[in-house]
């Protein structure tokens, strides 16, 4: 399945569950409807980081979406789990392009691949989501993603591991 959002009303992220057991979601609403995909915390953080790098080379952002548009709506059905993410900036249309591919198993029993690219979507495999964002929408996503990622469990000052609500057995404190 291939979905493309050329006009985007909202591109945001959020979580369900409590810290330590959160599921991260990316939600897009626009001309093609609404799609929610499941991803890892590191994927949300990396997407924000790379969008910020592209924004640093683009003209300053003049307009951003309203804060209400960045709130994660009640989660709908998750379309797929995120595998690879590609990001680009098109100066002709002044849009950021985010392409999100579904994580796949990489093939059948006869597949001899055994390396880090096994979960990459080959052409024709899995679903693909392509989103065209304004620079303002990309900047707002970055701010929201930073807040969502930081809202997790606090880190131990000694070992930098997350502290569970039930406590923490710090390996540096023996």
CATH class, 2-150 region: alpha beta
Which stretches of 31-161 are assigned E, i.e. beta strand? Answer: 33-39, 78-90, 95-102, 128-133
Domain boundaries, the chain: 2-150
Whole-model pTM? 0.75
If phi > 0 it is left, if psi is from -120 to 50 it is alpha, else beta; for residue 169 that is beta
pLDDT tens, residue by residue, 77-101: 888 999 999 999 888 888 999 999 9
pLDDT tens, residue by residue, 113-125: 343 444 444 445 7
Q: What is the largest CA-CA distance in the chain?
A: 58
């Amino acid at each position: 399945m291939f979905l493309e959002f050329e006009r985007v009303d909202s591109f945001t992220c959020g979580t369900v569950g409590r810290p330590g057991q959160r599921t991260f979601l990316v939600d897009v609403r626009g001309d093609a409807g609404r799609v929610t995909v499941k991803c890892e915390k590191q994927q949300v953080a990396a997407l924000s980081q790379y969008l910020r790098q592209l924004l640093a080379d683009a003209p300053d952002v003049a307009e951003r979406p309203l804060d209400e548009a960045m709130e994660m709506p009640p989660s709908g059905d998750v379309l797929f789990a995120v595998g690879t993410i590609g990001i680009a900036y098109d100066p002709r249309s002044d849009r950021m392009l985010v392409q999100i591919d579904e994580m796949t198993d990489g093939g059948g029993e006869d597949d001899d691949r055994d390396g880090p690219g096994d979960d990459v979507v080959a052409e024709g495999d899995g679903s693909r989501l392509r989103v065209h964002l304004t620079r303002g929408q990309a900047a707002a996503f970055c701010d929201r993603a930073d807040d969502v990622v930081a809202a997790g469990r606090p880190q131990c000052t000694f070992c930098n591991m997350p502290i569970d609500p039930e406590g923490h057995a710090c390996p540096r404190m023996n």
